[in-house]
Amino acid sequence: MTQLKLPLPLHGAANPSSTDAGTTPGSFAHAPAVGAALTFSSPDTPGMPAPSGKTAWDFLPEGWRREGAFAVAPEGFEPVTQLEHARLGNVTPEMKRVAAKEKHLTAEQVRDEVAAGRMIIPANKVHLAGKLDPMAIGRASLTKINANMGASPVSSGTSDELEKLEWATRWGADTVMDLSTGGDLDATRQSIIDNATVPIGTVPIYSMIIGKKIEELSLQDILDTLKHQAEQGVDYFTIHAGVLMEHLQFVKDRLIGIVSRGGSLLAKWMIHHDAQNPMYTDFEAICDVMREYDVSFSLGDGLRPGGLADATDHAQIAELQTLGELTERAWRKGVQVMVEGPGHVPFDQIEYNMKAQRTLCHGAPFYVLGPLVTDVFPGYDHITSCIGATAAAYHGASMLCYVTPKEHLGLPKKDDVKQGCIAYKIAAHSADVALGIPGARDWDDDLTRARAALNWEKHFELSFDADTARAFHDEDLDVDTDFCAMCGHDWCSVRISKEIVQFASGKAEGFEREKVLKSPALTPEQRQILEQRGHLSPEEIHRLATKTQKALGAEGDKASCHSDLVPADDAKRIQQEKLVQIGRRQARS
Ligand code: SF4
């Protein structure tokens, strides 16, 4: 046996596949024990802040006390929020639904994570009575993605936004934020909530200043708007209560100042009035409105960096510290909390950012935008940011806010929404696999099996975007062969490997084909995908494919070179003669 000069990777986590199949010995992530600060987490690089020793249990409301595993509320108290139910030991229908979706968690584990403040179930009572299908955001659950949409004063309308909502959920968005700043904001928001099965978030300050200047904003305007949107059924609010007067002095050293709309508006309000942020000073009044409907906080990062040069600076970390204090205050009011994070962050600073939040905000879920790891690829920021998002999810984020190719350039259209969602599903899933979330890698393993068997139908079926996968395959070769157009028959390493390892190609259970399949003709949607690529016209694709079929002698039948043609007995005999003997010879030498 060959002696390895280096050890295989640490067995820090269980194999993230739910079966014993696969060859990966384990990952570097911490063991996947649910129920503590290090649940599904990366090992700390030296110098990282340690997890907080506190949880939401340390910030019970006035008059509450711990008794055993749960808490006791004052006489006559009626729980409303998921956090209050969890503290009292109740397993709600929403927690059961979350456990049904997160197959590695029980409803009791969901309850305990919610009680600790490490997980939220954003589910406004009004939306719950409508179409909402509850989900959870937290480190113990799978990594989630959010898609932003919303009309702007120069583009789009309610029907366009509804189409984007449908498109975003089709492509895997776990939550959607309506960030409309134009058109009929109220009607658009109501239509989105009425049609959404996923939680809907908003940044209510946008509606607070419609028809008035930010300087005119009053506490009553804030509370009235929040109440109205809560009544409509919004599941989480971005509240920029962490931007304080004393933070503004640190912005002057930045290259691009304040890039958050909410942050810049509130900074203007504070400078104009020479007064503290009213969302900070009257935070408890805001909590009261939100508690009534169980609207969750998404504590906004109004001072997030807008470029790499401004990342992890004094302003950003000072605000994060305040967000930690606000987390404690919200928990004391029984309101669920997640915290928003940057933005634009060099790759090497991402882990610190995630672990600083874990410390300062006591494990409350972190919801990050990207982060973008470089600033110089406008038009491709779904890629620059999904690289950062993968690292963020591995090191501590629970939800990733997508970035589309239109970021910094214009309002995303339908296809931009799809591209953003797919980039972020890649980031979230990659992190879940690396973190060792049980069962996360099963899908990858299934696709690898189909790929190894050169089972194209299964390969397409398991692809996240089956239409695109099939269209790309069929662009050059719309016949089922034991290779594809990338390398061709003689150079197809998968075919050769299959012949070496399992000569009885295609004869494994589930992969057997009575006769070779000719891939069905492209659907109109697949045709459109290829047309948009602009490489080949549909006629050219057809001509090329037809030519290939003829060349392979595969017109309506099996390609003559397909290794399915080898009889099973011959395959076994060849395996015995060749592979087993090679193994024996090597063992002897
Ligand atoms: S031809 Fe090349 S790319 Fe295609 S299946 Fe074989 S090895 Fe993979």
Any idea which residue has 């305990």 for tokens? 112
The pLDDT confidence band at residue 513, using thresholds 50, 70 and 90, is very low
Domain extent at residue 237: 119-435
Task: State residue 452's pLDDT score.
Answer: 84
Contacting residues for 514 by C-beta, under 8 A, at least 6 apart: none
99 is a domain residue: no
The residue whose CA has the least distance to atom 3 of ligand 1 is 486
Q: How far is the CA of 448 from the centre of ligand 1 (A)?
A: 13
Q: How far is the CA of 456 from the centre of ligand 1 (A)?
A: 11
Confidence at residue 458, expressed as pLDDT on a 0 to 100 scale: 87
Which residues contact residue 156 at a Cβ distance below 8 angstroms, ignoring those fewer than 6 apart? 150, 182, 183, 411
**Closest ligand 1 atom, residue 493 Cα:** 7
DSSP sequence for 215-238: GG--HHHHHHHHHHHHHHT--EEE
What is the band of 557 on the pLDDT scale with cuts at 50, 70, 90?
A: very low
Enumerate residues 6+ apart whose C-beta is below 8 A from 567: none
Give domain status of residue 46, yes or no.
no
Q: Which stretches of 130-262 are assigned E, i.e. beta strand?
A: 137-138, 144-149, 175-178, 200-202, 236-239
Q: Is the pLDDT of residue 128 over 50?
A: yes
Mean pLDDT of 458-474: 91
Is 344 within 8 Å of 124 (Cβ atoms)? no
pLDDT given for residue 439 in this prediction: 86
What confidence score (pLDDT) does residue 386 get? 97
Would you list the DSSP string of 262-323? HHHHHHHHHHHHTS--HHHHTHHHHHHHHHHHTPEEEE--TT--SSGGGTT-HHHHHHHHHH
Same domain, yes or no: 296 and 427: yes
Give the mean pLDDT of 86-90. Answer: 98
Among 410, 435, 460, residue at a domain's last position: 435
| 364 and 286 part of one domain | yes
Spacing, Cα 556 to ligand 1 middle (Å): 22
Q: Which of 419, 435, 451 represents a domain boundary (last residue)?
A: 435
Which pLDDT value is given to residue 247?
Answer: 96
**Residue 200: pLDDT over 70:** yes
CB 109 within 8 A of CB 80: no
Instruction: With respect to residue 62, please indicate whether it lies within any of the assigned structural domains.
Output: no
Do 363 and 489 have their domain in common? no
- Give the whole-angstrom CA distance, residue 432 versus residue 385: 17
Question: Which protein residues touch ligand 1 with a CB less than 6 Å away?
Answer: 483-484, 486-487, 492-495
Which pLDDT band, with edges at 50, 70 and 90, does 201 fall under? very high
For 13-27, letters b (16+ CB in 10 Å) and e give bebbbeeeeeeeebb
Q: Which residue has the higher pLDDT, 153 or 484?
A: 484
Q: What is the 3-state secondary structure (H, E, C) of 445-500?
A: HHHHHHHHCCCHHHHHHHCCCHHHHHHHHHHHCCCCCCCCCCCCCCCCHHHHHHHH
Q: Indicate if 484 and 557 belong to the same structural domain.
A: yes
Looking at 402, 419, 435, the residue that finishes a domain is: 435
Peptide bond into 32 cis (omega under 30): no
Backbone torsions φ then ψ of 339, nearest 5 degrees: -125, 135
pLDDT classification of 210: cutoffs 50, 70, 90: confident
Place of tokens 């879920």: 365
The per-residue pLDDT for 160 is 85
pLDDT at 92 over 50: yes
The whole-angstrom separation of Cα 257 and Cα 238 is: 20
493: CA distance to ligand 1 center in Å? 6
CB 115 within 8 A of CB 331: no
Question: Is 40 a member of any domain?
Answer: no
pLDDT at res. 525: 80
Residue holding tokens 């397993």? 91
Question: How does residue 212 score in pLDDT terms, banded at 50, 70 and 90?
Answer: confident
Query: In this structure, are strands 366-369 and 337-341 parallel, antiparallel, or unpaired?
Result: parallel
Instruction: Give the single-character DSSP code of 577.
Output: I
Q: For residue range 236-294, list pLDDT tens digits in order.
A: 999 999 999 999 999 998 999 999 999 999 999 999 999 999 999 999 999 999 999 99
Ligand 1 pocket test, pick from 451, 458, 460, 484 with the greatest ligand atom count within 8 Å of Cβ, gives 484
The whole-number average pLDDT for the span 399-420 is 93
The answer to whether residue 15 sits within a structural domain is: no
Give ∠ CA 344-347-350 in degrees, rounded to 5: 75
pLDDT at site 503: 46
Ligand 1 midpoint to CA 513 (Å): 20
Composition of the chain by helix, strand, coil, percent to 5: 45, 10, 45
Residue-wise pLDDT tens digits, 162-185:
999 999 999 999 999 999 888 889
Q: Are 391 and 520 in the same domain?
A: no
Ligand 1 atom closest to Cα of 495? 6
Cα of 546 vs centre of ligand 1, distance in Å, is: 20
Confidence at residue 515, expressed as pLDDT on a 0 to 100 scale: 42
| Half-sphere CA count of 376, side-chain side, radius 13 A | 2
Give the per-residue pLDDT at 184.
87
Question: What percent of the chain stands above pLDDT 70?
Answer: 83
Ligand 1 centroid distance, CA of 495 (Å): 8
Together in a domain, 125 and 239: yes
The pLDDT assigned to 571 comes to: 53
CA–centroid distance, residue 332 to ligand 1 (Å): 58
pLDDT at 459 over 70: yes
Q: Is the pLDDT of residue 120 over 50?
A: yes
CA of 429 to the centre of ligand 1 (A): 24
Q: Provide mean pLDDT across the span 41-70.
A: 96
Mean pLDDT, range 428-451, rounded to an integer: 90
Q: Which residues contact 460 (CB under 8 A, 6 or more apart)?
A: 466, 469, 470, 473
Across the range 42-67, mean pLDDT stands at 96
- Residue at 378 is within a domain: yes
Q: Which two tokens stand for residue 168?
A: 């975003």
Q: Which residue has the tokens 């591995």?
A: 394
Beta partners for residue 200, in sequence order: 176
Inside any domain, residue 105: no
Based on its alpha-carbon atoms, the radius of gyration of the chain, rounded to whole angstroms, reads 27
Residue 508 has pLDDT above 50, yes or no: no
Nearest CA to ligand 1 atom 4: 484
CA 374, CA 309: separation in Å to the nearest integer? 10
What's the chain's average pLDDT? Answer: 86
- Rounded to an integer, what is the distance from CA 319 to the centroid of its chain? 24
Same domain, yes or no: 501 and 565: yes
Residue nearest to atom 6 of ligand 1 (CA): 492
DSSP per position, 73-104: PPTT----SHHHHHHTT---HHHHHHHHHSTT
Q: Counting atoms of ligand 1 from 1, which one is nearest the CA of 488?
A: 1
Which atom of ligand 1 approaches the CA of 484 most closely?
Answer: 4
What is the pLDDT at residue 98?
98
List, for residues 523-534, the tens digit of each pLDDT value: 778 777 777 776
Q: How far apart are the CA of 534 and the centre of ligand 1, in A?
A: 23
Structure confidence at residue 561 (pLDDT): 45
Q: How far is the CA of 452 from the centre of ligand 1 (A)?
A: 10
514 has a pLDDT exceeding 50: no
- pLDDT on residue 354: 98
For range 74-85, the mean pLDDT: 97
> What CA–CA distance (Å, rounded) separates 162 from 31?
42
Q: What is the pLDDT of residue 193?
A: 97
On whether both 360 and 234 belong to a single domain, the answer is yes
Tokens at 434, concatenated:
């690396």
* 365-388 mean pLDDT: 97
More confident residue, 15 or 461: 461
Do both 130 and 251 map to the same domain?
yes
Residue with the smallest CA separation from ligand 1 atom 7 is 492
For residues 400 and 167, give the distance between their C-alpha atoms in angstroms, rounded to a whole number. Answer: 18
Domain identity same for 414 and 461: no
Nearest residue (by CA) to ligand 1, atom 5, is 483
Question: pLDDT per residue over 219-247, tens digit each?
Answer: 999 999 999 999 999 999 999 999 999 99
Which among 493, 505, 562 is the best mutation to test ligand 1's pocket, defined by most ligand atoms within 8 Å of the CB? 493
How many domains does one find in the chain?
2
On the question of pLDDT at 50 being above 90, the answer is yes
| Closest ligand 1 atom number to CA of residue 454 | 5
Shared domain for 224 and 344, answered yes or no, is yes
Which is it for strands 137-138 and 119-120: parallel, antiparallel or unpaired?
Answer: antiparallel
For the four alpha carbons of 120, 125, 126 and 132, in that order, the dihedral sign comes to: positive
Q: Within the chain, how many helices (H) and strands (E) appear?
A: 23, 12
DSSP 171: T
- Tell whether 429 is covered by a domain: yes
429 and 475, same domain (yes or no): no
Residue 392: give its domain's CATH number: 3.20.20.540
Nearest ligand 1 atom to the CA of 489 is 1
Beta bridge partners, 147, equal 176
| C-alpha–C-alpha distance, residues 205 and 227, integer Å | 13
